[in-house]
Structures are given as structure tokens and as C-alpha cells.
């Protein structure tokens, strides 16, 4: 028993005395070329093909997304590999292209290697080619990347995807169009002017913001920075805010605005002229310099759902304090008149 206790004590001392290090996790839900040939895309493109110029523009946008998003993901991965070598951090790279090969990219000690990852592709046409839009695969990726992590280590998580106010991660085509009536869908797309595929009656598939926070909460890691690199990635509900776990120290997000695919260029982190900051500070400075990111902690993140709540109130509510103030003034004036009359 004594020998076991001593061995445990030696292990604990070695474990806690090792210098803290940084792990960067890049989780990119890019659109892969296989998506365009999928039944879901074909069903949607068939409907768009009958909508004239409006449909042609929407179809072109979808096809451009495949090329642009994939190219950007590959460029980001290459830049992060260079940055890891320059700054000496570990990294775990998860992309749909890698996941569809049941792999992820691990970068340790300047060595990049692909390792097996047993992902699920889901049971619907939406996530068939976007497996990283499944929360179960986010959980698997984090468990894999954080194996052996210590509480003293810094973890930077970058989640890059299409998104909405409710979803932090979603495919570009996030609804199941194989089950939709083509005529009704064409009519609704015309009414929307082809601007948005997230039609009100469609169920969108992806990972909700609240589920991202719950998944992070289930780990023992300390997330020094989490960047939700998607459109409208701020909290929009008090449920989102309450789900923010204690092990997330700082959140970077895009507020309620949209962003371009090429909004952030991670090559800045790998520039030889870059300041020799620690990784967390370097990523934060890079995002801050972009001018397109908001930063929050648990103590400030409440301002976003508060803005949503305030915007949902009837306009008349804002005049209530003025009305009450006026009534109070009238009551005081009436009281003075009564006092004067009785005296």
C-alpha cells in the first residue's frame, strides 16, 4: 500500500510540475465537393433550375461555396501548421474532408500526422457529407484532442462553420430538401427572393450554441479562448448565456452580423514578423485586429441576450417610465393644491 501511495505521489508531482502548454483545436465544418452530387443538393438544385435568374444565382452561390469554403479551410490548415512550428504549440485539426476519411490531423513537436477518427455520418441526407455538424462528432473530436490534457494547459478552440442565430455549426444546405414538395418549395423560394434557404417551415440540422457549451462543459479542459467563427454567433437567448460553462474563460464571436468566408487570414499567426506573444494572446490580438470580432467573458456575455430581449419589447414599454414620471408629477401638483386650499 505504501509503495502504491509513493508511486501515485511521484506521478502527481511529475504531472503538476510539467510546464503548461497550449493546444489549438481547429474544427472546420467546410462544404466538401461530394456535397453537390448528394441527393439533398440535387433535390434543391432541381427546384432552383426552374426559377430562372433567381434560381441560377442561388445555384451559383451554392457551387461557389463548395470551392471557396474548401479552399479557405485548406489554407487555414496550412497556416496553422506553420504557426504551430513557429510558436511551438500542439494542434488538432478536424475537417469534413478528413472526417469523411475517418481521420484527423495531429500536430506535435513540429510533426504533423493523420490519425484515425471513428466518426458518424448521421442518418439524414443533411449531415451525410457534413459529419462535423453533428454534436456527437464534436464531442468525439474534443475527447480525442484533449486526451491527456491538464487543468493548467491552455486550450484555444476555433469553430469555423456556416451558422445562424440558433446554430453555431451547420451545413450550407442545412435542411432536408429530399422530403419537400418541389412546387411549394419553389413558391416559397420565390417569395423569399432566393435570399435565404432557411425557410421558416424547414427544420435546420446542426449544432446549437447551447449544445456547444454543454459539450465543452463535459470536458476537464480550460478553454482560454473559444472563437465561434460563423455568422451571428453571439448568444441570442438566456438559455445560451446560462449554458456557458465555467471552464470557458473568453469567447470571441461575430455578434449579430454576417461574415465573409475569407474574413480571417490565419497566415498572420505564422508570419516571421509576428510578435513573439503566447499563443492565446496572439490569436486574440489577431482576431481583435480584424475589427469583425467581439470578445466576452461570462461577466459580459449577458449583454447579447439582453439586447435581443430589449428589441422584442413593444415600443410602448419604453414610454412607461415617462408616463409614470408624469403621473407622479401630477399627483404631487394635486397634493400641493389640496394643501394650499385647506390652509
Instruction: List residues bridging with 25 in a β-sheet.
Output: 92, 157
Q: What are phi and psi of 92, to 5 degrees?
A: -130, 125
Quote the radius of gyration of the chain (alpha carbons, Å): 26
pLDDT at 122: 80
Q: Pick from 217, 292, 225: which is nearest to 89 by CA?
A: 225
Ordered per-residue pLDDT tens for the chain, 343 residues: 445 544 443 334 334 444 568 999 999 999 999 999 999 999 999 999 988 888 888 899 999 999 999 999 999 999 999 999 888 899 999 999 999 999 999 999 778 999 999 999 888 899 999 999 999 999 999 999 999 899 899 999 999 999 999 999 999 999 999 988 888 888 888 877 666 676 777 889 999 999 999 999 999 899 999 999 999 999 999 999 999 999 999 999 999 999 999 899 999 898 877 666 688 999 999 999 988 999 999 999 999 999 999 988 765 555 556 656 765 666 666 566 555 556 5
Instruction: List residues bridging with 108 in a β-sheet.
Output: 111
Answer yes or no: are the C-beta atoms of 270 and 82 closer than 8 Å. Answer: yes
Place of cell 419604453: 318
**Contacts with 83 (C-beta within 8 Å, 6 or more apart), sequence order:** 89, 266, 269, 270
**What sign for the dihedral angle of Cα 178, 183, 185, 189?**
positive
> Strand ranges (DSSP E) for 22-160?
22-28, 90-95, 103-108, 111-116, 154-160
Give the length of the chain.
343
How many helices (H) and strands (E) the chain has is answered by 11, 10
Say how far apart CA 132 and CA 161 lie, in whole Å.
9
Residue 38 burial (CB count, 10 A): 18
Say how far apart CA 83 and CA 93 lie, in whole Å.
13
Amino acid at each position: 500500500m505504501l509503495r502504491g501511495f509513493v508511486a501515485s505521489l511521484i506521478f502527481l508531482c511529475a504531472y503538476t510540475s510539467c510546464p503548461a502548454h497550449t493546444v489549438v483545436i481547429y474544427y472546420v465544418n467546410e462544404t466538401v465537393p461530394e456535397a453537390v452530387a448528394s441527393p439533398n443538393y440535387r433535390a434543391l438544385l432541381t427546384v432552383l433550375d426552374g426559377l430562372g435568374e433567381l434560381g441560377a444565382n442561388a445555384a451559383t452561390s451554392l457551387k461557389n461555396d463548395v470551392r471557396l469554403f474548401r479552399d479557405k479551410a485548406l489554407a487555414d490548415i496550412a497556416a496553422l501548421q506553420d504557426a504551430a512550428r513557429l510558436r511551438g504549440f500542439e494542434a488538432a485539426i478536424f475537417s469534413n474532408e478528413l472526417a469523411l476519411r475517418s481521420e484527423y490531423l495531429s500536430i506535435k513537436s513540429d510533426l504533423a500526422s493523420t490519425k484515425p477518427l471513428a466518426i458518424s455520418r448521421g442518418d439524414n441526407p443533411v449531415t451525410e457529407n457534413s459529419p462535423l455538424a453533428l454534436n456527437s462528432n464534436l464531442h468525439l473530436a474534443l475527447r480525442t484532442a484533449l486526451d491527456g490534457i491538464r487543468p493548467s494547459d491552455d486550450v484555444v478552440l476555433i469553430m469555423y462553420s456556416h451558422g445562424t442565430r440558433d446554430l453555431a455549426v451547420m451545413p450550407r444546405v442545412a435542411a432536408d430538401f429530399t422530403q419537400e414538395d418541389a412546387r411549394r418549395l419553389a413558391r416559397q423560394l420565390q417569395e423569399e427572393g432566393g435570399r435565404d434557404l432557411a425557410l421558416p417551415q424547414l427544420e435546420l440540422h446542426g449544432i446549437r450554441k447551447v449544445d456547444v457549451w454543454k459539450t465543452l462543459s463535459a470536458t476537464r479542459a480550460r478553454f482560454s479562448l473559444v472563437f465561434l467563427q460563423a455568422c451571428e454567433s453571439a448568444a441570442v437567448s438566456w438559455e445560451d448565456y446560462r449554458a456557458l460553462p465555467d471552464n470557458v474563460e473568453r469567447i470571441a464571436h461575430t455578434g449579430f452580423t454576417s461574415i465573409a468566408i475569407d474574413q480571417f487570414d490565419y497566415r498572420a499567426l505564422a508570419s516571421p514578423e509576428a510578435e513573439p506573444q503566447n499563443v492565446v494572446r496572439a490569436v486574440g490580438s489577431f482576431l481583435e485586429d480584424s475589427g469583425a470580432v467581439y470578445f466576452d467573458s461570462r461577466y459580459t456575455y449577458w449583454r447579447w441576450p439582453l439586447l435581443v430581449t430589449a428589441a422584442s419589447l413593444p415600443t410602448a414599454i419604453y414610454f412607461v417610465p415617462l408616463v409614470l414620471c408624469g403621473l407622479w408629477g401630477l399627483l404631487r401638483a394635486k397634493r400641493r393644491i389640496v394643501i394650499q386650499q385647506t390652509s
